[in-house]
Every structure is written in C-alpha cells, then in structure tokens.
Amino acid sequence: MKRKTVPAGTWTNWAGDESCTPRQVLQPGSVDEVAAVTARAAAEGRTVRVVGAGHSFNDQVCTDGLLLNLDRISGLRHVDAGAGLVTVGAGTRLADLNLQLARHGLALPNLGDIDRQSLAGALSTGTHGTGRKLGNLATQIEALDLVLADGTVLTCAEDDPEVLRAARVSLGALGVITGYTLRVVPAFALRAETGTMPLDRTLDRLDELVDGNDHFEFFLFPHAEAALVKRNNRTDEPVRPPRETARRITEFAENGVFEAACRAGRRFPSRIPALNRAVTRLMTPSRYVDQSHRVFASRRSVRFTEMEWAVPRAACAEVVREIRRAIDRDRPAVGFPIEVRFVAPDELSHLSPAYGRETAYLAVHMYRGMPWEPYFRAVQDIALAFGGRPHWGKRHLMEAEGLAARYPAWDRFQTVRARLDPRGTFTNAHLRRVLGPVADPDTASSPAGTGTGGRAPEER
C-alpha cells in the first residue's frame, strides 16, 4: 500500500484515513492564550476545533477554521493525595499522566487498552476500560475548565451539575477544555492472567467471568473457535513483571507478527480465515503482577480503523453470536479480533454511551487500506437491534435524529450546548451530523442548570 500523501499544512489522524486543511493551526502555551485566540476566531466568524493525539477514527477534529493543539497545556498542576484529587492540563497524554501519578503513589482507577491519547480526547469521547464496577473514564472528572467562544473561562463543577454532566462527554461541542480535576486512588498492583477459552464456553459463562473479576475482557477472531480471555485483579502480591525477553516476544507477536498477517490478509483476502486460526493458535497463556497502568495499557502499532458499540450487558452474548453469524454469512475479509469489555452504568455524563445501564462494549476493526463500510454497517444494524449506542470517538453511520432517541438525557445536553455555544463556534460537519445544529437558546426547553426541561422520561 502506498503511503497517503497530504498537502503541507494538512492534519491527519493516527489511522491515516481522516484529514483536513485548517486555515490556522496554533499551539497555545497558556489558558490565557487559548482564551485570546478562541475569542478572536469567534469574532471573525471562524470555527474552532481542538486536536489531541489524533486517535479518533472519525472526522470530529476536522475543520477549515482554527485548529488548536493543546500539547503545551499539559502536566500535573496540583496533587491532593489525602482528598484523592489532582488537577491536570487537558493536553496531557495518558501515558505521561500515569507516570506522573505513580511518582506520587497514585493511579487512575481504570484505563483503556492504550494510553497514547490526550486526556481531553479520551474523556470527551467517552473512552473506557473494563470492569463491571467502574464507569467510563469521564466518571472520574470532579471538575473541568472550559474556554467559551467569547474567551470566558468557565469552571464546570457540581455547583452547576447540568453543565458538568454535559461537559464530561461533550465531543468538543461546548468549548475548549483546558484542565481537569480528577478523582484518583492510591497506586495498586494487578495480577494479570491471559489465556484462551472456547468461545461458546466463554459466552455461556459470561456473567461468572465478568462478576468474578475486577477487570475482565475477551477477544475473538472471526473464523476461529477460541477466545483470548484476560482477567486482571487487584492484589497485594509482590510485583513480578514479565521478563524483558518475554515482554519483547509478546510485543513482537502482537505487533510485528500480527502486522504481517494483516498485510497477507489484505493481499489475499480468501486466506484470512486460515490466518486468523493460525494467529489464535499462537496465543500462549501468561500470568504476572505489575503496577496497574503497566497492565492496563498495551503498545499498539498496527494501523486500523474502528467501530465500537455500547449494548446492554445482558444482550452481550447474543450480540456476539449475531455478529459471528453475519460474518459466516457475508464472509467479509476481517482479520482483526472483536474486543469485548464491560463497564458500570453512568448517569454522570449526559452523552455517555453507558448512560443508565450496565454496558458491554463491542469493538470491531478493519486493517488500513481495506474496505470497512459493509462489515461495519452489518455490525451497526445488529447493535441497533439490541439498543446499541456508538462510541463517540469511533466510526459509525448514524445521524442526530437516530442518536437522539437512544440517549435519555439528549435534550438536557442540547440545552447546555445552546447556552454555552449559541453561535456554533465549536461545531463542524461531524457535529452537525451527529448532534444536529445548535438550538436557538431562546427556544430551548429550559435554561441549563435548572434541572427541568429535557429530562429523561424515567426521571420525570
């Protein structure tokens, strides 16, 4: 595959399949600078979007206006270990934050599979880890600082709960988030156990596996009968990380060998079933104890695009079986595994995909340069039939009208959006597609913060 060439000044995401040419790209070094350049752009009628590490798989960053990079708005600003609270710049990479917290004997209670994202990018899109008692990462937000279109800096906290609940997962639609106050926990170790299990047995024992582990997830390759099962549990055992040789071998298998298999599958799609079965046979059991952030996050260098759906946990096994039946029927060339994780209900974020229910997340992928839409559309149809909601940072094919019906607090979010960004300064083509136009604040159902108009039916 030839490397995609892009014009000078063009921004491209990590996957290499979304790009734009902003009129201006700036990297402010302070909140005051963010406020000044945002207010100036808004006064000139230009839109403003923010970019982190570029790990979203859709076009939500893309703009022909002002693109702000917050890499210089980063690092720990304050630590209150006694209260379990830290303040941190929004541009901080998760990997860096993990190391900074560890030096203070602290940790985030949960993390996703990778730690390359910026903090704001991960939190604003509803990124998650796995653990039935733990919510999406945004549930750890105690407060955040938001620069509005006129340059005003608004601190969103529980004294205005409607605004905070809208801002936790907001897709950058309300303003520029420059900093967070996060709840953290004392640093802890995890006992990590990985092995294979027949897929049917995994699905039959799903409740036992999810409820019996602090953090449980599994991966299944299309056309293979075994699942890779991961159990991570808190422990007081001494830290015993993998030997360096073993770590390097695992990393090579998960990236180098897998990349080679993906390239072979892209060139010879008919061989993908055999390649998937071969990759599954290469999986070997492992067991070790290490600090939490070194267990949660893995190095991922193989480039791909991704779709992910949040479905009711009770429907998880049947959704997996339906996806497998669709793959067997349609025979798409799918060389990537389906990843399945679990989180607690979340009513702290109006647009959380886990809002109001125990949730299973199912992620599907397609290797770079391969046609993804037929497979993703088939998965979307299945997920929607079971009440699915898409991950905001991944690909999906839905628009605002269909999404509104799936989020009980949708109107409450839109009321806050109309209040904070009435002119649509922070809107782009992607947000118009998935959130719709900004409502006229004079006709919104109620002022943000009153806790009335737009409530979910079950809360009325």
DSSP string, 115-146: --SBHHHHHHTT----BTT---GGGGEEEEEE
Q: What does the mean pLDDT of the chain come to?
A: 92
- The whole-angstrom separation of Cα 168 and Cα 120 is 9
Cα–Cα distance list, 377 to 32, 319, 320, 423, 434 (Å): 44, 14, 15, 33, 16
What is the mean predicted confidence (pLDDT) over 201-214?
Answer: 98
Q: What share of the chain is helix, strand, coil (3-state, %, to 5)?
A: 35, 25, 45
The pLDDT value recorded for residue 9 is 78
Mean pLDDT of 173-198: 97
68 is written with which tokens?
């702000």
> How far apart (Å, rounded) are the C-alpha atoms in residues 436 and 429?
9
Structure letter (DSSP) for residue 426: T
- Residue 455 in this model has a pLDDT that exceeds 70: no
- What distance lies between CA 1 and its chain's CA centroid? 28
Q: What's the average model confidence in pLDDT over 126-152?
A: 97
Q: What are phi and psi of 451, to 5 degrees?
A: 75, 20
Which residues does 458 contact at the CB level (< 8 Å), separation at least 6?
356, 408
pLDDT at 246: 72
Q: What is the pTM of this model?
A: 0.91
Q: Is the pLDDT of residue 323 over 70?
A: yes
Q: Is 291 helix (H, G, I), strand (E, B) or coil?
A: strand
- Please, which pLDDT band fits residue 459 given cuts at 50, 70 and 90? very low
**341: pLDDT strictly greater than 60:** yes
Alpha helix stretches (DSSP H) within 270-372: 272-282, 292-296, 316-330
Helices (H), 217-257: 244-251
**Helix or strand (DSSP H, E) at 434:** helix 429-434
CA-to-CA distance for 344 and 132, rounded, in angstroms?
A: 5
The sign of the torsion formed by the CA atoms of 450, 452, 453, 457 equals positive
pLDDT at 441: 60
Q: Model confidence over 389-420: pLDDT tens digits? A: 999 999 999 999 999 999 999 999 999 999 99
- Greater pLDDT, 282 or 426: 426
- Please compute the mean of the pLDDT values over residues 268-279 and round it to a whole number: 89
Give the model's pLDDT for residue 448.
Answer: 35
Q: Is the pLDDT of residue 449 over 50?
A: no
pLDDT(23) > 70: yes
Q: Which of 52-66, 154-168, 245-259 has the lowest mean pLDDT?
A: 245-259
What percentage of residues in the chain have a pLDDT greater than 70? 94
* pLDDT over 50 at 457, yes or no: no
- State CA 392 to chain mean position distance: 7
Please write the tens of the pLDDT for every residue from 209-243.
999 999 999 999 999 999 999 999 999 999 999 88
183-188-189-192 Cα dihedral, nearest 10 degrees: -30
Which range among 16-30, 159-173, 268-282, 366-380 shows the weakest confidence by mean pLDDT? Answer: 268-282
Instruction: Say what the pLDDT of residue 7 is.
Output: 54
Confidence of residue 264 (pLDDT cuts 50, 70, 90): very high
Flag whether pLDDT at 386 surpasses 60: yes
Please give the residue that has the higher pLDDT: either 217 or 6: 217
**Within 13 Å of residue 151, how many CA atoms lie on the same side as its CB?**
11
Half-sphere exposure of 455 (CA within 13 A, CB side): 9
The answer to whether 219 and 197 are in contact (CB under 8 A) is no
Identify the pLDDT of residue 452. 30
User: What are the pLDDT digits (tens) for 83-122?
Assistant: 999 999 999 999 999 999 999 999 999 999 999 999 999 9
- DSSP character for 440? P
Averaged pLDDT, 57-86: 96
